[in-house]
Structure 1
């Protein structure tokens, strides 16, 4: 019996149908590149001090030096951001030495921004926790979306979840510019986070299942990766010319409406349809693809006996997240993936949000940070063709950790070297973050692939939710965030050595086809693999031609 990829091999790998799917699904990742990272500018805190009604309301001025105490920040003496001297009415001196809070509000510098959410809702001093918490709210939305999008996509289909989440995300992103309070802003951004990761992960899975072999790899690295990097690179350009956060929000949201026509060009995943016992619908999609490619398909593409397993593919058995933990091999893959995703996400977003703590212009630093994404994806695309999966992930994480740990040895006066090492570390960690999407897609079987990727991505939001606070440490100690992230990267790199090799191998369809972990070069005996604790005996029924699965090294 032929497997799926052998059955549709007549389509070829790079016809008009594949090119269309590749381009459209890749471009759908552009908004994800700026949605969460736009908070670097939208929620930035400009220089500020207490407002004194008797003085000119413009920022700074000689009079403020007499009415506001000074404080030291990063070696520089500035006006206090949260305290002012108490005014005296019955005294020769206008101000006493006693201080009070900014009871009349704040004056914010407009040198860089016309407005941000911080200046509009005064998210400073006692409310300064709200700014990083806004990022945590976004990450919480990404976490929820990662979980439920996977479950819903595996249950109801990739296509419907992809388009519905993209539609809701675009509408809410537009409405965000009309927020009347910080609470309303957070509520909308939470929904945006849910929908953004839903559309991103589902597009990634949909493209991976519609494309095959080397095309799938190129899609995951260059297609989605470069589109995400493009969205990230567009962000500082938009932010540089649009300094008002509401106008910037509207400008960025308009991109989402360009994706409406995709509904008529992107089909459902035939792989998923087959696992649901809907072979006729899958065959109709393949025939339409063959027609677009100018190929005459066989008379009977998916024969009756093609069904992988009657019980599994008929749709009678519904899969849940518990299936990710039922068998030994599946459980090991899931737990290790979750751990690696948490650590990589923490490092990636920690370095991204930490750009404001680096010396130099934030727009330039953000653009350089985006440029590292392009370099990372280009390098990864080259290595992924020739280097085993079990080498790429550990190498990038271990190298990234080493570069970040070196920062603590750089003298304070060599700030340029610190920025260089930070950007180099971000470059290799970006490569690891992009690669882990491809690797995880190959590790999880079709019946729970989107769910597995969703749970891993959900776990990653724990890391991204913590990352704003890791970056916040940099306001007090510039090297401590790099020490923390470097150590975590080394740990994650060592853990990734346990994952099995998937290069040049067919995507697993069933849970019974999931590979065991690899411990160096040691190989388990076949009898051990087929023990009651292994996947062959402990999983759902495997087809006869897959009875030798699990005999690879463990």
Structure 2
């Protein structure tokens, strides 16, 4: 009897698991808000140079066309629009009567201009306030807008490294509870930032907490779920994240103020922090850390909630110890990140997952961030991006259940790459078609995210699962940090960012086919389990033994002798 059998004894997917999974999934409604918050808190309002003594006049004007005509005397045109970063040194009053769409006269290029010495005036219809309008992150300071997202993702990266290792050492529940509190406190305090530096510092620390929540949530789910229901539970619980994207669109539209938005999406984690004490620590982790009495206590608690009172009498400390002797023995070994690369199969898994995690995150945030580039209302675009994830993840669920993890992972990435490349050749004036393709591409990368979280949790053994999750997802955070920076390449060549995103997705899609299949495979608990399950040498030997066994049976050799030979051969391995 292994741990999977013990789970079945205490109720399988019973009342406890359903409550446990639901409470762990609810925070996902707000996790999407954290990762995509920059679309709204760092949105760029329409703006132009501030003209002294003109603000009152413009505010009193009821006609937007009249305002633009008046501003034409002070601000030059840039690509048929009022310049955002310069103004005339001397007013050009004759231009206030010029048609707004009229081409710029050649002699106007000689008119002296200057930078926005008096700051900027922002249009407050789409956004009331953002960090861009708060600290004038426009023109020469515009890169700081993307930098704020990169710094946040740097925090998520750091959290993956730190919390991954700490969780394997101190437990999933403790680190998850702390991450909830850190996210609630620092995320809420971000709303009171008095400077850009303070804002970025708090966002970095909030990103660390986000990583702690994601990693420990995945492990606590996987380690309490029976093998046969992992696919269904993993896919359906990811829909909370999808629905959260749609919630973000509604909250952002209702508030339109970056400070209020931070409070709205971070303060609810105080409530989540309070109820998180109800969670049960992973019994797998407790066993593998030599805490058998606590593991037995957690198993009895689960059995009691699931109404399996007979299991409480049947599963004793001696039963637990005798049936998990190999796992208990492995708990005496201290594992590090080096163990992820030390053995052949673990090394192959880790290197492949690095490519898959990086490219999935890279392509996802390349499409999901900077929604203003689509020329559609940003709140509507966020709603559409969230809505398309529902059918995408349901398709992924069917594929994961019947085709397996490996084929699903590779197919989603290659399909997303194909859509990204197709979009390069669509003319810019066909904006609707370009937007539809971008939405579809984002849907497939989202499905890829659903698969890779489940896939990684199944590939790494319990003794080092959190360290492995942290290690693999570290590359995802690097990808999410690089995604906003790559957007600057459109100044060199407009299609270059799409080429980079698509190429990375193709590379990862092909790499995914090198990973072992985990559909309906029992979770490995030790590194030795991984090597035995997916070693190519083991597979070849098993096939050879099976072939020889069939040959001997055909010749009439007693079945018992054939079985003994197979057993001795496996022992020799």
Shift of 1:69: 1.8
Query: 1:112, 1:309 → 2: CA distance?
Result: 61
CA contact (8 A) 1:277 1:307 kept: no
Q: Which residue of 1 aligns with 2:438?
A: 422
1:523–1:16 CA distance, 2 compared to 1 (3 A): closer
Determine whether 1:375 maps to 2:391: yes
Correspondence for 2:304 among 291, 297, 301: 291
TM-score w.r.t. length of structure 1: 0.89
- Of residues 213, 222, 228, the one that matches 1:208 is 222
TM-score calculated relative to the size of structure 2: 0.86
Cα distance, 1:549 vs structure 2: 10
Structure 1 outlier segments of 4+, above 6 Å = 516-523
- Residue 179 of structure 2: aligned partner: 165
| Number of the residue aligned with 1:155 | 169
Residue in structure 2 matching 1:268, options 272, 275, 281: 281
Q: What corresponds to 1:82 in structure 2?
A: 85
Once the two structures are superposed, residues 59-116 of structure 1 have per-residue CA deviations (whole angstroms, 9 ceiling, x without a partner) of 85433212222212xxxx112111122249xxx99x9922221111111111211110
Give matches, 1:130-149, under 5 Å: 130-149=144-163
In 1, Cα distance between equivalents of 2:527 and 2:568: 11
CA-CA distance at 1:483 after TM superposition: 2.9
Q: CA–CA distance in 1 between the matches of 2:186 and 2:385?
A: 27
Report 1:228-377 matches (<5 A).
Answer: 228-295=241-308, 296-297=310-311, 298-301=313-316, 302-309=319-326, 312-314=329-331, 316-377=332-393
Partner SS for 1:321: coil
How big is the shift at 1:150?
0.8
**Aligned pair in 2 of structure 1 residues 549, 151: CA closer, same or farther (>3 Å)?**
farther
* Stretch of structure 1 that moved more, 130-139 or 386-395: 386-395
- Going from structure 1 to structure 2, the CA distance change for 1:101 and 1:40 (only over 3 Å counts) comes to same
Q: Residues of 2 paired with 1:547 and 1:103: CA distance?
A: 82
Aligned residue for 1:45, secondary structure, equals coil
Tell me how far apart the structure 2 counterparts of residues 241 and 474 of structure 1 sit (CA, whole Å). Answer: 32
Q: Evaluate the alpha carbon distance shift between residue 398 and residue 503 of structure 1 in structure 2; reply closer, same or farther with a 3 A threshold.
A: same
Residue in 2 that maps onto 1:4: 3
Over aligned residues, Cα RMSD in angstroms? 2.9
Partner of 1:66: 73
Task: Judge conservation of contact 2:414–2:505 (CA < 8 Å) in 1.
Answer: yes
Distance 1:240 1:359 in 2: 17
Structure 1's unaligned 5+ residue stretches are 529-544
In structure 2, relative to structure 1, the CA distance for the partners of 1:134 and 1:517 (3 Å cut) is farther
Is the counterpart of residue 36 in structure 1 residue 35 in structure 2?
A: yes
Distance 1:44 1:475 in 2: 20
Checking the alignment, whether the CA contact within 8 Å between 2:152 and 2:206 is kept in structure 1 is yes
Change (3 A) 1:179 1:312: farther
Give the length in aligned residue pairs. Answer: 525
For residues 433 and 417 of structure 1, do their structure 2 counterparts lie closer, same or farther at Cα, with a shift above 3 Å needed? same
Instruction: Write the distance in 2 (CA, Å) between the matches of 1:455 and 1:335.
Output: 10
Instruction: Tell me the SS of whatever aligns to 1:303.
Output: helix
Q: What's the counterpart of residue 504 of structure 1? A: 520
In 1, the alpha carbon distance for the partners of 2:439 and 2:146 equals: 22
CA distance in 1, matches of 2:163, 2:568: 30
- Secondary structure of the residue aligned to 1:49 is strand
Structure 2 stretches lacking a partner, 5+ long: 60-66, 96-107, 545-566
Instruction: State the shift of 1:473 in Å.
Output: 4.3
| 1:506 alignment partner, SS class | coil
Bigger helix share: 2
SS at match of 2:223: helix
Query: Per the alignment, in what secondary structure is the counterpart of residue 216 of structure 2?
Result: helix
> 2-side partners of 1:340 and 1:131: how far apart?
28
SS at match of 1:107: strand
